[in-house]
């Protein structure tokens, strides 16, 4: 005899993010990793808010958003502009009673810092890369915390192998990603008692606008497809699905980790 609750067909089809509110920073166009994450989350039933950097990005994001079944909330936030983060969460607080997930998929370095001699890294270029690509994880997590309290919320950011090993031309961004991964651990420890988890995904190279700024990016793609255990590159959907897992209750015991989504490339020695 069956004892317990029989699930209706509707309940069985529910996604693992059904009814969860997730805010995503970093959609610029349809190639953005953040857009792959948005699509995975929408498939899993999440309500979305998208933070865009400036008016130009806003127009592009507005057009993309028309492809989503549930219209997302769209709000502007440039992490280098004083007060933008606070204004963003004040505005979001008028729409939502809380936040269950936050995706940080933003980074920036000047093109001239992503090639040539690492010793030529300028202070301005170093500081800007750190502010946009690493500090912003701290700023955004702090901004979202009052709305994440007590909801088993989860924060996910995007890193790359160049944080850990020297990758030709990645230069100042490798140092920023090292800071991002370390910040992931410090934040996880800091906000864990508030019930908030923080993890990073270290994604293999994917052809996006930002990635094309890295000198000779094509050779990173080729090398990975030839040598990675899975003999292929990863794509936005691979990362989107892992992000959905890390944002969902399926990963409730995981925090402070860097999870590689790289077809196994990072396990290789010589």
Q: Which residues bind ligand NAD (CB under 6 A)?
A: 26-28, 32-34, 53, 57, 78-80, 105-108, 132, 158-160, 203, 205-206, 208-211
Q: How far is the CB of 252 from ligand NAD (least distance, A)?
A: 24
Q: How far is the CB of 132 from ligand NAD (least distance, A)?
A: 5
String of DSSP letters for 140-158? HHHHHHHHHTTTT-EEEEE
Question: What DSSP state is assigned to residue 249?
Answer: G
Nearer to ligand NAD, 158 or 191 (CB): 158
Residues 6+ apart with CB under 8 A from 52: 27, 28, 58, 60, 61, 74, 75, 76, 77
Nearer to ligand NAD, 99 or 176 (CB): 176
Nearer to ligand NAD, 71 or 218 (CB): 218
| CA separation for the pair 196, 185 (Å, rounded) | 12
Q: Which of 161, 170, 260, 265 is catalytic?
A: 170
- The verdict on whether 265 is a catalytic residue reads no
- The verdict on whether 160 is a catalytic residue reads yes
CA 255 from centre of chain: 15
CA distances, 130 to each of 35, 59, 135, 138, 166 (Å)? 23, 27, 6, 11, 17
Q: How far is the CB of 96 from ligand NAD (least distance, A)?
A: 20
Residues assigned a catalytic role: 160, 170
């Amino acid at each position: 005899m069956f004892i317990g609750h029989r699930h209706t067909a509707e309940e069985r089809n529910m996604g693992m993010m059904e009814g969860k509110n997730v805010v995503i920073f970093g959609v610029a166009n349809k190639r953005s990793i953040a857009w792959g994450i948005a699509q995975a989350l929408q498939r899993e039933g999440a309500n979305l808010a998208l933070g865009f950097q400036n008016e130009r990005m806003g127009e592009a994001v507005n057009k993309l958003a028309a492809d989503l079944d549930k219209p997302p909330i769209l709000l502007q936030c440039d992490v280098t502009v004083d007060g933008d983060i606070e204004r963003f969460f004040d505005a979001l607080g008028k729409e939502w009673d809380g936040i269950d997930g936050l995706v940080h998929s933003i980074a920036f370095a000047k093109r001239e810092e992503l090639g040539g001699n690492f010793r030529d890294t300028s202070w301005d270029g170093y500081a800007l890369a750190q502010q946009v690509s690493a500090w912003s994880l701290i700023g955004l997590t702090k901004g979202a915390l009052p709305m994440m309290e007590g909801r088993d919320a989860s924060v996910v950011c995007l890193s790359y192998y160049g944080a850990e090993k020297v990758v030709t031309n990645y230069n100042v961004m490798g140092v920023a990603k090292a800071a991002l991964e370390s910040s992931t651990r410090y934040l996880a420890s800091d906000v864990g008692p508030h019930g908030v988890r923080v993890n990073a995904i270290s994604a293999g190279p994917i052809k996006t606008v930002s990635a094309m700024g890295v000198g000779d990016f094509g050779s990173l793609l080729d090398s990975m497809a030839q040598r990675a255990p899975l003999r292929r590159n990863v794509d936005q959907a691979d990362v989107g699905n892992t992000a959905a897992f890390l944002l969902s209750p399926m990963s409730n015991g995981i925090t402070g980790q860097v999870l590689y989504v790289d077809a196994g490339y990072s396990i290789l020695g010589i």
